[in-house]
Structure 1
């Protein structure tokens, strides 16, 4: 009897939970939903804003607020670190609205979203720079900002995009430098030389490119390639590392 009572109570609780969840977003006119979402956005309550905007998007996908709802969702997803949904919403918006007046902002947000994917909670908490982690999101962000500058040269987001591209270029160069260092420690001399030359070719104006000359010289010395050692030493004098 006791077991039956507990089971019954659990069933009632589950049903009550489902019922209350369905009532979180009331069935109100779209203007009311949108106003509530805007209030949540302005106060930084991203969870509430997303709930209202998602309800508005699902109930009125072709309504008067459709485009603005998508734009607001992109921002709210980014601020709440829901990066996968943010990226999906960005791709959807650009696919359906390639010539939208705010398309440059959406491309800019795609770059920010990819940049955010390159960090981790632990790295942020302990202020750790792990240049050897997979840089794919940073490469995607660099491509996004480059596209923004090419496609929308007059965009108000161009200046910030340029600054972020400098940061990303150093991030990518440092990754290749860390990879070259890994090859040196493993005594994979040819692989180390190739990666050093890649840093110098792709990111010639970075500190990583200058640092890579040291690793390249070490690899040439181990291979007894004296002419290459001397050439690298000359390059090091012309491009001293800090």
Structure 2
């Protein structure tokens, strides 16, 4: 009987060892690291393109160095890592949290710039593989959000180092939005919906200034009024087109075909 009791005890000990060995509790390799080391390792992972690892380290740093400038920097760097990883929603959430927690931060201009940039990249795919795709044909919601972030940056921080690039991107977004409106007008025109084409062309002309697409908007007005037999309005639109774009090829050649993407600015 004694040997049986020992055997049971041995099995119980073995079972405990097996269970301990099967534990899934992860080992935190950063447990003994200083905040500066965590930040350095996170930045190295980010620079190497290992954004998921970098984000995890930045989150650890936020907790370890809470209330310090290093934690604030970690929040911004985490947002940037999300942006580079193609996660604009997470990037903007991180930026919004940073701005809410640190409304007087000296890095607020950068936060606004990064917020605009994340929406800009998500919607327009400027650095993606869209070689010949007309970006104005894509959803413009993110473009408008990007514009608002850049506009706030330019308004609040006119001397910021990020403001010149923000202004250039705002111009690009305006051109994109105008082109989107004109694309819809052309769509209606080619399907014989001339009143709808006129409305969308006029919306582009009313809402935007100096956008390249406005030349085509005027041409769509000329053609649509002509199709409807509204000769006086047609002639008025044609005079404006010729006065505004004296070198316009639309009147001679019609809608342009096989041209390169108009949106390549960078």
**Stretches of structure 2 lacking an aligned partner (at least 5 in a row):** 1-18, 250-266
Give per-residue Cα distances to partners, 1:166-193, cap 9 Å, x unaligned. Answer: 2111111110111111121232222211
Larger Rg: 2
> Do structure 1's residue 54 and structure 2's residue 54 form an aligned pair?
no
Q: Aligned with 1:124: secondary structure?
A: coil
Residue matched to 1:230: 235
Q: Aligned pair in 2 of structure 1 residues 64, 141: CA closer, same or farther (>3 Å)?
A: closer
1:188/1:210 CA distance change after superposition, 3 Å: same
SS in 1 for 2:136: coil
Deviation at 1:115, TM superposition (A): 0.3
Shift of residue 119 of structure 1? 3.5
Q: Quote the residue 2:30 is aligned against.
A: 26
Considering fraction of residues, name the structure with more helix.
1
Mapped partners of 1:44, 1:133: distance in 2: 28
Large movers: runs of 4+ above 6 Å: none
CA contact (8 A) 1:200 1:212 kept: yes
Report whether the alignment pairs 1:218 with 2:218.
Answer: no
* Residue of structure 2 equivalent to 1:136: 141
Distance 2:179 2:28 in 1: 48
Question: What is the 5 A alignment of 1:1-242?
Answer: 18-19=24-25, 22-23=26-27, 25-29=29-33, 30-58=35-63, 60-62=65-67, 65-119=70-124, 124=129, 126-240=131-245, 241=248
Give the length in aligned residue pairs: 226
In structure 2, C-alpha distance between the alignment counterparts of 1:40 and 1:127, rounded to whole Å: 33
**Cross-structure match for 1:5:** none
CA distance in structure 2 between the partners assigned to 1:127 and 1:27 by the alignment = 50
The answer to whether the 8 A contact 2:88-2:122 is kept is yes
**Judging changes above 3 Å, is the alpha-carbon distance between structure 1 residues 95 and 84 closer, same or farther for their aligned structure 2 residues?**
same
Task: Check the 8 A contact 1:25/1:51 in 2, yes or no.
Answer: no
TM superposition shift of 1:60: 5.0
The question of whether the paired residues in 2 share the 8 Å contact of 1:25 and 1:55 is answered with: no
- CA deviations on 1:198-232 (whole Å, 9 max, x unpaired) are 21122231220011111111221222211100101
State how far apart, in whole Å, the 2-side matches of 1:227 and 1:49 are. 64
TM-score normalised according to structure 1 size = 0.83
Is the contact between residue 25 and residue 52 of structure 1 (CA under 8 Å) also seen in structure 2?
Answer: no
TM-score by length of 2: 0.76
Contact 2:62–2:72 (CA<8 Å) still a contact in 1? no
